[in-house]
Each structure stands twice: as C-alpha cells, then as structure tokens.
Amino acid sequence: MNRRPGLSVRLKLTISYAGFLLLAGALLLAVVWVFLLRYVPDRVSIMAPIYVPNRTDLLQLFLPAAAVALAFLLVFGLMGGWVLAGRMLAPLTRIADAARMAAGGSLSHRIRLPGSEDEFRELADVFDAMLEQLESHVSRHQRFAANASHELRTPLAISRTLLDVARNDPPRDQVELIERLSSVNTRAIDLTEALLLLSRSDRGSFNPGPVDLSLIAEEAAETLLPLAEKRQIALEVTGGKAWSAGSAALLLRMVTNLVQNAIVHNLPSRGTVTVHTESRRDASVLRVENTGHRIPAELVPTLTEPFQRGTQRARTDDHAGVGLGLAIVHSIVQAHDGTLDLTPRPTGGLLVTIRLPGTARASSPNSVR
C-alpha cells in the first residue's frame, strides 16, 4: 500500500517532548511575571537613599535571560526527547524486525523482549505467541500436504502398475484385475472424501443446531453393528441424552469414526466397545472405550495427527482406513469448541472422552442428514 511520506513517530515524540518542555518553561516565566514583576512599581521615588530598579530595569535584565533559558530548554528538549523517544520505541523496532522476518517466511524467530511487564512487552509476548501458533499451523499443514500427496500417490501408482500388467499380459484374468482396480479406486475415493471432510471441519463452515449425542451414538452403533458382529466384538451404547449445538452430520461422522476405530483396533473375537453419553451442568460428554492391545503413552499424542496409525492397528480390506479417523475427530471437536482426551487403558485399549458445550434441550430432536 502506497502512503505519502510523513514524520516518523520518533520525530513526532521528540517535537512533542521539546514543545512540552518549552511550554512548561514559558509558563514558569509567566508565573514569575504575574506573581513577582507586576508588583514592582514602574517608577521609583527619586528621594530614595539608594538605587532601586524599577519594572523597566528588571524587564531589560529579565527578558534576555528568559530568552536564553527558553532557547536552552528547546535545544535540551529536542536532544533529550530524541534520545528518550529512541529508547521508548526500541521495543517497537524489535517487533517490526520480527514482523518483517515473518513476512519473509521465517517463523522461527522470537522477540523475547526482556524487562518488566508493560504495554510493549505485552505486545511482544502476544506477537511471540502468534508466531508460535502460526509456525505450528504452517508446519502441520506442510506435513499434512506431504503425507496426503504420499497417500494419494500410492493408490494411483498401484492402478498404473495394474494397468501396465494388463497391457503387457492381455490374457490375464480380467475379473481379478477389475476387482483389484475397484478396491484401489475405492480407497482413493475414501481418502479424497476424508480430506474434503477434514477441510470442511477445519473451516467450521456449518450452521449449528441442537443435537442429541445419545441419538448420534445409537445411529453410529447401528451402522457399525454388522462390522462388530463380523469381528465378534460386543458393542454397547449406554447413558442418557446429551444435547449440544453443532452440525449433526459432522458429529455423526465424529462418533462413527470413533466407534469404527474402537472396533478395528480391538481384540479379535472377545473385545468390547462401550459408547456412553451423559449431560453435565455445562457440558455434554461422549465416551468411547474399547479393549485392545496396550498403547504406549508416547504414541497417544500422535494419534490425532493426520496419517498416523497405531502400531497395533488391525487392517482389513474393507476397513483398512486412510489414517485420518482421529484427525477428523479432533478437527470436528475443535470446530465445535470442545475438548478431546485420549487415555490408554492399563489393560489395553483406549478411552476417548469428548466434551462439547451443552445446550438446552430442543423441542424436537435434530435429525441427521
């Protein structure tokens, strides 16, 4: 943005300091005149035994000295104001340098302004916090873009390999080829849809409405019941109504992802998955708990990162997943101003606790679309 040239803040402060000091000196001289010189008579009796200066004599002596004093105050104010303004504005210079570095792409620089708390240091601390969040955000998106590119490239490379094989070996079983291409294509579509959903939840582009988490949990459990029965895993929904404000479709996807992960990461043939909802005074709580293999504590913070999978993940052809399940859950929870807690169970498995802001019960349940 082009702006017309103007005086710097330092120069403006310098002129202000000097002007204030000059004005204070002038007022002081005015006080001397008003409260002292005006009481001196303009004429003195010639009969006085000694010489007594009159008002004219005092003015002739006072005015040149006052002019010199004012000139000194002006010069002193300009010099002192320039130095003081420079010292006062030094923190702003450091903040501006950090902003220029950030604009140039360097987000690792921090101001770390020393000294006691004041307005400049509060601004510097806020700017440092902003840079830290921005660096983390950019780094996370860079990793996400790199991982997404890698994940999308894999099914495309497999498809190209299958097509090359079919081209070089025409008599090959076409049915098998079509089935494998269909499987790879389905995985690529699932990944693309998951990426779009993750982007949508990150933006928070939805109209919130009253949603009962207990109904959402029951619908998700009903949808995934065949998968649980196929794996011989007991799936149970408990608790009562828990109303919250949000997108019913996104919250359904959130609970579905949690329940599906709980089933897929479970023990074969003897595992359990429990979905519990409850309403508290200021929050609606959803808990999904499953049995399974023990999860190392150091692995838990990475589970919500895109394309991160647990070391004990059980994979199947129909529910292999794309590594975005908990990342989507985390994004949806953030979009609804909630909190997500992951706690590894001592006996194995995971306890996921979601707290969303509670709301008053709606007059009619919000249907999931």
Render pLDDT for 31-74 as a digit per residue (tens, 0 to 9).
Answer: 777 767 666 666 655 555 665 666 677 777 777 877 888 888 88
Render pLDDT for 284-335 as a digit per residue (tens, 0 to 9).
Answer: 999 999 999 888 888 888 888 766 655 444 344 444 455 677 888 888 898 8
Beta carbons of 200 and 328 less than 8 angstroms apart:
no
- DSSP, collapsed to helix, strand or coil, labels residue 211 as strand
pLDDT of residue 362: 47
Beta carbons of 365 and 359 less than 8 angstroms apart:
no
Structure tokens at 330: 């985390």
| Count of all residues that appear for the chain in the document | 369
Beta carbons of 269 and 314 less than 8 angstroms apart:
no
CA distances (Å), 337 to each of 202, 204, 246, 330, 356, in order?
A: 12, 10, 10, 11, 7
Extended strands (E) in the chain: 209-212, 234-239, 243-246, 272-279, 283-290, 339-344, 350-357
Separation CA 65–CA 195 (nearest Å): 81
Beta carbons of 282 and 358 less than 8 angstroms apart:
yes
Separation CA 274–CA 137 (nearest Å): 34
Distant-in-sequence, close-in-space partners of 50: CB < 8 Å, separation ≥ 6:
none
CA distances (Å), 285 to each of 10, 278, 347, 350, in order?
A: 55, 5, 23, 16
Query: Domains (ranges, CATH) in the chain?
Result: 9-106 (no CATH), 143-203 (1.10.287), 209-357 (3.30.565.10)
Q: What HEC string does 47-100 produce?
A: CCCCCCCCHHHHHHHHHHHHHHHHHHHHHHHHHHHHHHHHHHHHHHHHHHHHHH
First to last CA, the chain: 46
Helix (H) or strand (E) holding 266: none
Beta carbons of 80 and 15 less than 8 angstroms apart:
no
Helix (H) or strand (E) holding 263: helix 248-264
Nearest Cα to Cα of residue 220 among 207, 232, 235: 235
Beta-strand pair 234-239/272-279? parallel
Beta carbons of 233 and 222 less than 8 angstroms apart:
no
Separation CA 22–CA 16 (nearest Å): 10
Separation CA 329–CA 306 (nearest Å): 11
In the block, tokens 């699932």 appear at: 190
Residue 136's Cβ-side half-sphere holds a number of Cα atoms within 13 Å equal to 7
Separation CA 136–CA 150 (nearest Å): 21
Separation CA 210–CA 167 (nearest Å): 55
pLDDT string in tens for the chain (369-residue length): 565 776 777 787 888 888 888 888 888 877 777 767 666 666 655 555 665 666 677 777 777 877 888 888 888 888 888 888 887 888 888 888 888 888 888 888 888 888 777 787 888 888 888 988 888 878 767 766 766 676 677 677 878 887 787 777 776 667 777 777 887 787 777 777 767 766 666 655 677 889 999 999 999 999 999 889 988 999 999 999 999 998 888 898 899 989 999 998 898 778 999 999 999 888 999 999 999 988 888 888 888 876 665 544 434 444 445 567 788 888 889 888 899 999 999 999 999 999 999 886 644 444 443
